[in-house]
Structure 1
Amino acid sequence: MAVTDEAIEKIKGMIVSGELRPGDRLPREADLAERLGLSRNSLREAVKALSLIRVLDVRQGDGTYVTSLAPGLLLDALSFVVDFHRDDTVLEFLEVRRILEPSATALAAQRMTDSEVEGLRVVLAELGDDPSIDALVANDLEFHRRIASGSGNNVLCSLIDSLSGPTTRARIWRGLTQEGAVAKTREQHAAILEAIAARQPELARSWATVHVAGVEDWLRRAL
């Protein structure tokens, strides 16, 4: 089990057992890490992951709290980690993305207006040097949404949009656990953008394939 997953399981165990209840504040990071036998870094990553799915609420200057969800909803949210690693359905969504998105990207290289290309460049530039995982994922979703829209094919765009939700948690998990994921995403987005700007559809198709296949390959190995 990956270190981050182990940390999540231990926090989950405290909540499921009733040791931590909705609304409770987590012990200080150093104390909790020592108590659970975790490094502070792995504990921090686990807290970040659980806050992204709103199981934990990180309040700057105040501490980290278990969200005040109904117990059933809380456990449903927590189970996503286990489901994610057991269920390979998300791989099928990624396979479809790998089939559709390169074609949409090739069309975008032919059909996007100059102003739309510049808009795509602005989206990429908005990502800072050290973005949070949720900022990275939001930027990633917007980048791909604009390309799908730029394909000029409303049916294709709608199909790709429908695939965004089921693959969002894979994007989050990759950002949290794969070393260099942020830099890799930024570099591949830049390559896709430049191919579109240069009006080179086949190059754009190739980079889009590499980009989506990279996430799919990582997930296959993770599962």
Structure 2
Amino acid sequence: MAVTDEAIEKIKAMIVSGALRPGDRLPRESELAAELGLSRNSLREAVRALALMRVLDVRQGDGTYVTGLDPQLLLEALAFVVDFHRDDTVADFLAVRRLLEPAATALAAARIDTATIEALGDRLDALGPHPSVEELIAADEEFHRAVVRAGGNAVLCSLLDGLAGPASRALAGYALTEDAVSRMLHEHRAILTALRDRDAEAARSWATVHIAGVEQWLRSAD
């Protein structure tokens, strides 16, 4: 194991064990290096890496702190990494979304509030039957984000946010195919009806159909 990797693992172990908690200030560099049996250089490299991963927050002139370790914060790096995907892996990202998002949509059926349902319905009405591709993609992202957030699982929400990039790029091509726009709008309304009816299984099924359509088109187009 590289020295920097070893340093990262040792700091991680302190956080996982509870020796360092969210919001705690790390000991002084010299003290922490001695405690962990590390050189100060390797400790600095580890701190830099963990700061990039949003595990640590380096405050100039104040010290280094453990962040709140919120899922949304920690998983921001996922979206950054996902944006480097190759064209031949987009379908795989969509397959992961197909596994996760229907579950999130089913959760939302029990938890989404009436105001959110009405707002999503109004947004669909305002979109009309013939939106541009840009309008459709923006509305699709807004729709799915609102539904997933309504499910109340912050980790699931952050994971799906991280997969949004490849999904949007695939959608840009799919939306140009015959009847794709009307099909997508119909599926959005079906998901919304299931949510309004508090029907978790119908919500799960329509979300699966909706996402699988784009995935299947992409695989057949390769």
TM-score normalised by L of structure 2: 0.60
Task: Supply the distance in 1 between the matched residues of 2:187 and 2:129 (Cα, whole angstroms).
Answer: 15
The alpha-carbon deviation at position 175 of structure 1 amounts to: 1.0
Query: What pairs with 1:74-223 in structure 2 (closer than 5 Å)?
Result: 87-176=87-176, 178-223=177-222
1:124 Cα deviation after fit: 1.6
Give per-residue Cα distances to partners, 1:53-110, cap 9 Å, x unaligned. xxxxxxxxxxxxxxxxxxxxxxxxxxxxxxx9x8321011100110011001000101
CA distance in 2, matches of 1:128, 1:120: 13
Partner of 1:28: none
Name the count of aligned residue pairs: 139
Name the aligned partner's letter for residue 111 of structure 1.
R
SS class of match (2:138): helix
Within 2, Cα distance between the matches of 1:180 and 1:215? 13
Please give the per-residue CA displacement for 1:23-80, whole angstroms capped at 9, x wherever unaligned: xxxxxxxxxxxxxxxxxxxxxxxxxxxxxxxxxxxxxxxxxxxxxxxxxxxxxxxxxx
2:129–2:182 Cα contact (<8 Å) kept:
no
* Offset from partner CA, 1:117-167 (integer Å, 9 cap, x none): 112212222212221110011111111010111111111111111111122
Alignment of 1:11-50 (within 5 A): none
SS at match of 1:126: helix
Percent identity, aligned pairs only, is 54
TM-score, with structure 1 as normaliser: 0.60
8 Å CA contact 1:123–1:142 kept in 2: the answer is no
Could you list the runs of 5+ residues in structure 2 that have no partner in the other structure? 1-84
* 4+ aligned runs moved over 3 Å, structure 1: none
Q: Tell me the secondary structure at the aligned position of residue 175 of structure 2.
A: helix
Return the alpha-carbon distance in structure 2 between the equivalents of residues 150 and 100 of structure 1: 14
Letter in 1 for 2:181: V
Task: State the one-letter code of the partner of 2:220.
Answer: R
- Distance in 1 (CA, whole Å) between partners of 2:110 and 2:163 is 23
Letter paired with 1:210: V
Unaligned runs of 5+ in 1: 1-83
